[in-house]
Structure 1
Amino acid sequence: MPPARDVMAHRGDDDEVCPVCKSSRYLNPDMRFLINPECYHKMCESCVDRIFSSGPANCPVAGCHKTLRKNRFRKQTFEDINVEREVDIRRRVMQVLNRREEEFDSKRAYDDFLEQREEIIANLVHGTDVAKTESDLQRYASENMRSIRANQALEAQEASSFREQQTQEQELARLRREAARQEYENERKELLAGREDVLSRLAAGRPGDAAAIAREGQKVLLKKSSARRSEEDRIRQKQAALRNSDARKGQGPLTTADRADDSGASSLIKGLKKIKTPEPEKPYDPFDGLVPNQRDYYTLRDHYPNSYLDPIRQDTRMQAGGYDLQEYYSRTLMEAFAGLGCFLDEEVSKRDITNTSNVSRPVATEGAALAAVSSAGAPEGSS
């Protein structure tokens, strides 16, 4: 046998041999092989228990110095170890770069993001700029932790909704099959009962009544079948209405407040929509910006000489009710200077501009209508 064919013939046997203890599946059919995502070296389960039960240890394969832990070992899913490694890398990258299409400004920006993600996966799979790619990925994960968790929660919610929808569809299919079987049984029983009824009536009747009895039995069967079909249509319409209501309930908004990042944008991904942070609610102001003690155009004094107010100042009867001249001074001066902050010329000009823009089109339309009416009502030949 040529050497190449010999290698191809014994390749499966070499894959089923533990590189640590050299045990073969040929001698031990119950042997289980495990791999670790750190280095993807395959070894038997007994070697894993013997080497890594006491704690983390270096990989026993010659030339590999990576530290492995027992809880990371798992059974190999794919036959090709390179496919296994690529699937793990792709899963890890997509858990971090899990942006959604609605987060981008355009479809082109989302396509660029998908291409960039595939390029990162290819770099990690083929070992191109691994250190820089890993550092960029870790920096992005630390800067956008909130959006990553929010998108992961949305994906979990969508997966749960999809599973619930599949369960409902399977249950509806089962109910439809059960209803079809029950319908077939009921129709068969009714047909047999109708035939027995016709036969019994024929046996008890006269020979000339055979045709009339057959026609009457056929009418009864048709009436029952039409009633059954109408009832089935009503049930189908009810089920369709229930499905539509469930679909409307399941189409609720999947928005999350945690999607907004503290950084506002990412240096790794371009084309993301700018998230507008709502302004914080201002504290309640009962005076709507008016400061009671603020005076822009006057200064309030403690005393103003007045022949009418001076006697009140010494009148105990007026002071006993809580009357205060300072409040009178303040209110009077505020009313006197209240109009100094209003500029009528500017307000009138703005009002005229607004009224002109709003009324110009209706006025022109009305003038055109009047001109048309006047020209139509004028006699021919008049200028």
Structure 2
Amino acid sequence: MASKDDLDHRDEDEVCPVCKSSRYLNPNMRFLINPECYHKMCESCVDRIFSSGPSNCPVAGCRKTLRKNKFRAQTFEDIGVEREVDIRRRVMHILNRREEEFDSKRAYDDFLEQREEMIANLVSRIDVAKTEAQLQKYASENMQSIRTNQALEEQEASSFQARMTQEQEEARLRRQLAREQLENERREIQASREDMLNRLAAGSSADAAAIAREGHKVLLKKSSARRSEEDRIRQKQAALRSEMKRGAGAGELAGPSDSGLIKGLRKIKTPEPEKPYDPFMGYVPEKRDYYTLQSSYPSTYLDRIRNDTRMAAGGYDLKEYYSRTMLEAFAGLGCFIGEEVSRRDAGAEVKPAATAGAAMAAGGE
């Protein structure tokens, strides 16, 4: 591993390949790189060459078109590590499938291995055109799932940051509470000792043992109350953490589950949209979901008709009468359902349809 002196000496030897300026002569020189070719050049050359618009890289042999807004400071000392980190970040930004999207752990492991192979190909410059084409095709076909997983990752990162902040705050409060309790305990012990000494000085020698026992009981009672308070605080913090864990549920997955690049994805069934309710059930006489049509109903009048052969000879069927009567009896149920639901959602008082009709009739008289 290089020492600090070696790194400083290496920084001093840095020379801009365009203007040949050296950091040795200009310690405030700042070098920038562009992810298109990763050629390093000084900030003044970047401003001079690329301020008017995109231009070719001035390094000999490089024909990449560079833009000024893509230049940035180098993070890692080794430019190869810098390039590999950028490639890995870009590929993982596209191939961001999660383990719960796969049928099995083996399928998810195969996906991870496939992603690492694609990263290795881009880093080693092996089948670059083919790999880039696969990434672009996958990104265009699975844009919705990519965005959904990115949103889940951001949500998990924010939840983790919130948990870390809360845990740090809880630790700070625990330390502060412990300090306050120790200080209060010290003061109580000091006050108890002073009170005991005063009572012993004012009393007789026969009362010394009783006074000592009473002071010991007071100290035990206070320490027991302190432990109970600490247990209550721990239980409250544990309940708060468990509630946060239950609340931090994973979001729903979206997008197509089929992909030509990734195998073993779980099939996602898209629910069918809810159809509007039809109270007449397509005008089919015996198909109703709000009542069940029986084969016969007890009625002295209808029993005579059922046993009369003259009625049956004309083709009359009591089932048609039953169906029409039940439909007429229940036909008014769906008249005011939409209005009542909208009022209920708005928080207004919902009145039955019959009550509303009676009120309108009374107002008209």
- 2:10 corresponding residue in structure 1: 12
- For 2:166, the aligned partner's letter is Q
Q: Deviations over 1:99-151 (max 9, x none)?
A: 11111111111111111111110111111111111111101100111111111
Q: TM-score, normalised by structure 2?
A: 0.73
Pick one of 240, 243, 258 that aligns with 1:242.
240
Matched-pair identity in % = 76
Q: Structure 2 regions of 5+ residues with no counterpart?
A: 1-5, 286-313, 321-365
- 1:255 corresponding residue in structure 2: 252
The 10-residue stretch of structure 1 (81-90 or 43-52) with the greater mean CA deviation from structure 2: 43-52
Does residue 276 (structure 1) correspond to residue 272 (structure 2)? The answer is: no
In structure 2, what is the Cα distance between the partners aligned to 1:77 and 1:142? 31
Q: Deviations over 1:292-314 (max 9, x none)?
A: 7xxxxxxxxxxxxxxxxxxxxxx
Given that residues 13 and 22 in structure 2 are in contact (C-alpha distance below 8 angstroms), is that contact kept between their aligned partners in structure 1?
no
Q: TM-score, normalised by structure 1?
A: 0.70
Partner SS for 2:61: coil
In structure 1, what is the Cα distance between the partners aligned to 2:260 and 2:241? 44
How much is the aligned-residue C-alpha RMSD, in angstroms? 2.4
Pick one of 82, 85, 88 that aligns with 1:87.
85
Partner SS for 2:259: coil
Given that residues 13 and 24 in structure 2 are in contact (C-alpha distance below 8 angstroms), is that contact kept between their aligned partners in structure 1?
no
In structure 1, what is the Cα distance between the partners aligned to 2:189 and 2:275? 78
In structure 1, what is the Cα distance between the partners aligned to 2:68 and 2:25? 25
Does residue 113 (structure 1) correspond to residue 103 (structure 2)? The answer is: no
Q: Structure 1 regions of 5+ residues with no counterpart?
A: 1-7, 293-331, 339-383
Deviation at 1:238, TM superposition (A): 2.2
- For 2:134, the aligned partner's letter is D
Pick one of 320, 335, 345 that aligns with 2:317.
335
* Number of aligned residues: 288
Partner SS for 2:281: coil
In structure 1, what is the Cα distance between the partners aligned to 2:218 and 2:124? 77
In structure 2, what is the Cα distance between the partners aligned to 1:334 and 1:43? 99
Does residue 42 (structure 1) correspond to residue 40 (structure 2)? The answer is: yes
Pick one of 228, 231, 237 that aligns with 1:230.
228
- For 2:223, the aligned partner's letter is S
In structure 2, what is the Cα distance between the partners aligned to 1:285 and 1:125? 61
- 2:215 corresponding residue in structure 1: 217
- 2:292 corresponding residue in structure 1: none
In structure 1, what is the Cα distance between the partners aligned to 2:99 and 2:11? 47
For residues 1-383 of structure 1, the aligned pairs below 5 Å read: 12=10, 16-250=14-248, 252-256=249-253, 259-261=254-256, 264-291=257-284, 333=315, 335=317
| Bigger Rg over Cα | 1
Given that residues 13 and 23 in structure 2 are in contact (C-alpha distance below 8 angstroms), is that contact kept between their aligned partners in structure 1?
no
Partner SS for 1:34: strand
Task: Label 1:61 to 1:168 Cα distance change in 2 as closer, same or farther (>3 A).
Answer: same
In structure 2, what is the Cα distance between the partners aligned to 1:248 and 1:31? 52
